[in-house]
């Protein structure tokens, strides 16, 4: 099965449609599938729902799709650092489903494992629990959360072999593995594609069974917030 494609637009060919549900990896600007997001913008796909920890910033990440009004709904944990996100939400232009961060990660992982729902204590007694089934276990109350089953997963990895086995780099692993698992089709952008068999099996973070298409590209790797301190001898 051929998994390596020449560009982001080629890898997404035949997969995009209006109203689709996409799970995207990354936290902030760390480990986001920036090339695939740009290709989705260029394709003009609209009315999309995104499950992602956040929506990037105003001019990068999912933020570029908010600028062009291609996103209808966000399922997210954090909505800061993005003025357009806030403006659209407060004006009623954008639907928002808040999820605690761990709950969102587990919803993605559960979907990837074929688990339709699970109970968690996180969110009990808050607006997160409104309208959800409650159940007691050993005297403690839990709420039912549903697994995420997306039409498409888009993720960013450091290395892949030609069969789709993935290695993520440090913090950039974040939401990428569970996001990759929960899509009917998973498209991955990487910094390097290596020959099959060259990756140490013990170093593989996500097996290629979850990955359908791969592209290699050059990434901007922006820093969302740079914090420095003065030199002591200055």
pTM greater than 0.85: yes
Select from 123, 203, 138, 155 the least CA-distant residue to 51: 155
Q: Is the pLDDT of residue 232 over 90?
A: no
> Domain residues of the chain, as ranges?
8-216
DSSP 8-state secondary structure symbol assigned to residue 148: P
**What pLDDT is stored for residue 234 in this prediction?**
59
Q: What is the mean pLDDT of residues 102-111?
A: 97
Top pLDDT among 212 and 81 is at 212
Top pLDDT among 80 and 173 is at 173
Residues listed for the chain: 234
Classify domain 8-216 by CATH number: 3.40.1080.10
**What pLDDT is stored for residue 223 in this prediction?**
74
First to last CA, the chain: 59
**What pLDDT is stored for residue 193 in this prediction?**
98
Q: Is the pLDDT of residue 228 over 90?
A: no
């Amino acid at each position: 099965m051929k998994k390596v494609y020449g560009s982001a637009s080629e890898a997404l060919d035949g997969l995009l449609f209006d109203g689709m549900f996409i799970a995207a990896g990354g936290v902030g600007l760390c480990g986001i599938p920036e090339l695939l997001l740009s290709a989705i913008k260029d394709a003009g796909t609209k009315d999309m729902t995104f499950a992602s920890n956040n929506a990037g910033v105003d001019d990068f990440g999912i933020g570029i799709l908010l600028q062009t009004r291609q996103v209808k709904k966000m399922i997210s944990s954090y909505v800061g650092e993005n003025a357009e996100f806030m403006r659209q939400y407060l004006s009623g232009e954008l639907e928002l489903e808040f999820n605690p961060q761990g709950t969102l990660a587990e919803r993605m992982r559960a979907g990837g494992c074929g688990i339709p729902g699970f109970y968690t204590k996180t969110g009990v007694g808050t607006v997160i629990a409104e309208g959800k089934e409650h159940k007691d276990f050993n005297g403690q109350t839990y709420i039912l959360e549903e697994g995420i089953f997306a039409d498409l997963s888009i993720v960013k990895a450091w290395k892949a072999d030609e069969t789709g086995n993935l290695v993520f780099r440090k913090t950039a692993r974040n939401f990428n593995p569970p996001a990759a698992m929960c899509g009917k089709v998973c498209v991955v952008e990487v910094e390097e594609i290596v020959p099959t068999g060259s990756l140490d099996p013990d170093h593989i973070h996500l097996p290629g069974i979850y990955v359908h298409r791969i592209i290699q590209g050059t990434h901007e790797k922006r820093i969302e917030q740079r914090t420095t301190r003065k030199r002591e001898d200055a």
